[in-house]
Amino acid sequence: MAYIHSKFLLVDPLGNDPIVVTGSANFSDASTTDNDENMIIIRGNKRAADIYFTEFNRLFNHYYFRSVFESQKNEDEKSIENNLFLFPTDEWLGKYKQGKLRYKRVKVFCKMQGIKKIG
């Protein structure tokens, strides 16, 4: 299991009055009463909020990929319908045939882009 020791809290990081709370404190009783911890609140600084939000997204995407990868280890690797990774043949195209959910999604995205015909 992987742990991250970074601690920060973001409130409306993309808004007009973002709040960033960061420091060594763990948001626990011991960290606020017994330990030598620190915490800083940065309010209204859009640049600081953007930097912390970017770091949050970097960490989330990094660990989300690992989580998906780990969950797929136990799946049947031959299952084309559920496989999230590249497949060496063109069998993966079956997921996008008319009547399938993925076909409908592609159709919706094409309509949004003004594409009249797919496939």
Q: CA angle, corner 7, sides to 3 and 12, nearest 5?
A: 125
Domain with CATH 3.30.870.10 in the chain: 1-74
Q: What is the pLDDT of residue 32?
A: 77
Mean pLDDT for 1-5 is: 61
User: What distance, in Å, lies between the first and last C-alpha atoms of the chain?
Assistant: 43
DSSP state of 96: G
- Global pTM reads 0.57
Express each pLDDT in 37-96 by its tens digit. 888 999 999 999 999 999 999 989 888 888 877 777 765 555 666 666 777 888 888 888
**How far apart are the C-alpha atoms of 29 and 114, rounded to whole Å?**
56
Mean pLDDT for 9-38 is: 88
Q: What is the pLDDT of residue 4?
A: 61
Architecture of domain 1-74: 2-Layer Sandwich (3.30)
